Amino acid sequence: MITLTIAQIVHALSGEPFLAGGDTLATTVSGAVDTDSRLIGPGDVFVAKPGEHTDGHLFVPTVAEAGAALAIVEHPVDAQITQIVVADVVTALADLARENVAGVRAHGRLQIVGITGSNGKTTTKNMLARILEDEGETVSPRASFNNEVGAPLTMLRVGDGTRYLVSEFGASAPGEIARLAGLVEPDFGVVLMVGLAHAGGFGGIEATFHAKSELVRALRPGGLAVLNADDPRVAAMAPIADERGVSVRWFGRGEGADVRAGEIEVTATGTSTTVTVDGVEHALRLRVLGAHHVMNALAAIATATALGVDAAAAVARLETLELAERWRMQPLGTDRIRIINDAYNASPDSMAAALRTLAQITRPGERTVAVLGAMSELGEFAEEEHDRVGLLAVRLGIQRIVVVGADARRMFLEAISQGSWDGEAVFFATADEAFDYLQGELRDGDRVLVKSSNAAGLRFLGDRLGESVS
């Protein structure tokens, strides 16, 4: 965070100060900001957020002992630390993030990129950050810090020397992207795709379209929307950009895209294609698995080159990226038995992409094994979409389908109904049961995909399998 006086913070948060330790309203604060008391050190700012399992206010004395400079609270706490009392600490966190970014923008050359889409946000964010970090100081979210807490915490890492802020905007309901993007009014907005991820919260695909288009509406006039030309719903955001006085840069597979990909080859060691950037071809060899990640790479390249990065340099930097993110198409194990742990997020689109990748990377003589858990937040679409995954797994010829958890059971039932009834498809209520089965089932030459939403917890099963076969 930039240096601010307590008076400036009080004004930005519409709070009430309770000074301690000789502090005055003129005292300055410039430390890191976090809601996790374990990450707070001398000079930092602690935001005492109430949570599902505990209350941050309980840890105000702890951060005071750790040397924190300031606590933002919803009620005064008996601790020797200056506190600012606010009506709602999550709202205050957003207000402080807005103040911080505005301060940097007023005196520096900060460029802000917002990324949204039903799938691929974190991978694209990491790809773009990898390209930009060689150009200047770049701040991007840790993991998937893309909600009402994570996005402001990322914005509060911006300092006077920051040249690029890459923000990831997720949402589970209408209006969330508008609020988050509205904190910083991005210069560039990347929309990857409109799918059924979180459709239960939005109320359907058209509502999802309107929610994702909130990023385009939030761009500052004169900005740039980087849009997926292959997704009709994303392409339909171009008129919104025009209304906002925002230009459009297209990425995709078609000839009309400013940044486009040619034929794609997927192997167990990476993904290859040719990328054409404004008419010039570049060979691209990604270490990240999966054809679907080519679109994420195109979005990153389209944005980076719009920011002035040389296309060849952007491509070369992407080729150094070994992993999109932990638990996202993460290779584990050995060549003998390869585990692909992709169980951090799952939607119908990403589930299908992961299954297709599994089929593509498996050579003759090797066996495909899909360990599948539930997809969250699909609402009324949940039963139909889980059925579709079971059907797709069978049609792709996946040789072992291991379904885990009651919420995913329909995948198993659909696979059985499609003919995978002779041991090809099995169901287990728990990850421990699935692990015990797989310990005796896996053999040399197996290529194993572990895929589910975060809530299903299969990412830890993937880790255990990776360790067991290494």
Tell me the pLDDT tens digit for each residue of 269-290.
Answer: 889 999 999 999 999 999 888 8
Residue 346 has pLDDT above 90, yes or no: no
In this predicted structure, what is the pLDDT of residue 203? 60
What is the pLDDT, as a whole number, of residue 420?
Answer: 77
Share of the chain above pLDDT 90, in %: 79
Quick: pLDDT tens for 353-389: 999 999 999 989 999 999 999 998 888 889 999 999 9
Contact by Cβ (8 Å): 347, 196: yes
Across 156-164, average pLDDT:
96
Within a 10 A sphere around the Cβ of 133, how many other Cβ atoms? 16
119 has binding-site annotation: yes
147 marked as binding residue: no
Q: What is the pLDDT of residue 198?
A: 52
51 is in an annotated binding site: no
When pLDDT is averaged across residues 105-131 and rounded to a whole number, the result is 93
> What is the model's pLDDT at position 53?
83
Q: Is the pLDDT of residue 207 over 90?
A: no
Residue 344 tokens, joined: 């951090």
Nearest to 236 by CA among 227, 244, 245: 227
- For 75-95, b where at least 16 C-beta lie within 10 A, e where not — what string? eebebebbbbbbeebbebbbb
Give me the half-sphere count of Cα atoms (radius 13 Å) on the Cβ side of residue 26.
0
How much is the pLDDT for 324?
A: 72
Q: Do 240 and 249 contact (CB within 8 A), yes or no? A: no
Say yes or no to pLDDT of 19 above 80.
Answer: yes
Extract the tokens encoding 389.
């995954």
Q: Which two tokens stand for residue 339?
A: 């585990």
pLDDT for residue 201 is more than 70: no
Report the C-alpha dihedral over residues 297, 301, 302, 305, rounded to 10 degrees.
Answer: 180
| Token reading at 359 | 């089929």
The amino acid occupying position 286 is L
In this prediction, residue 277 carries a pLDDT of 97
pTM: 0.86
Contact 135, 309 (CB under 8 A): yes
Domains and CATH numbers, the chain: 4-91 (3.40.1390.10), 108-318 (3.40.1190.10), 330-469 (3.90.190.20)
| pLDDT higher than threshold 90 for residue 173 | no
Mean pLDDT, range 250-261, rounded to an integer: 95
Q: In this structure, what token pair is assigned to residue 124?
A: 């694209």
Please provide residue 316's backbone torsions phi and psi, each rounded to the nearest 5 degrees. Answer: -60, -40
pLDDT digits (tens, 9 = 90+) for 305-328: 999 999 999 999 999 998 777 778
Question: Which of 12, 194, 120, 74 lies closest to 354 in space, CA to CA?
Answer: 120
Percent of the chain whose predicted confidence (pLDDT) is above 70: 98
**Is 31 annotated as belonging to a binding site?**
no
Confidence (pLDDT) at 323: 76
Distance, in Å, from the CA atom of 410 to the CA atom of 395, rounded to the nearest integer, reads 16
| Sign, Cα dihedral of 49, 14, 167, 138 | negative
User: Which has the higher per-residue pLDDT, 443 or 51?
Assistant: 443
Question: Does 118 count as an annotated binding residue?
Answer: yes
Residue 380: per-residue pLDDT: 84
Question: What does the longest C-alpha to C-alpha distance in the chain come to?
Answer: 75
User: How does 390-420 read in b/e, with b if 16+ C-beta sit within 10 Å?
Assistant: bebbbebebbbbbbbbebbbbbbebbbebeb
Whether the predicted pLDDT of 444 surpasses 70: yes
Over 60: is that where the pLDDT of 200 sits? no
Each as own residue / partner, the long-range contacts of residues 424-430 (CB below 8 Å, 24 or more positions apart, any chain) are: 424/399, 424/400, 425/390, 425/394, 425/400, 425/401, 426/400, 426/401, 426/402, 427/403, 428/402, 428/403, 428/404, 429/404, 429/405, 430/404, 430/405
Within 118-258, residue ranges assigned H as helices are 121-132, 150-155, 176-182, 199-202, 205-212, 214-218, 232-235, 238-243
| Per-chain mean pLDDT for the chain | 93
Residue 156 confidence class, pLDDT cut points 50, 70, 90: very high
Q: Can you give the pLDDT at residue 142?
A: 83
Confirm if 288 and 324 have CB atoms less than 8 A apart: yes
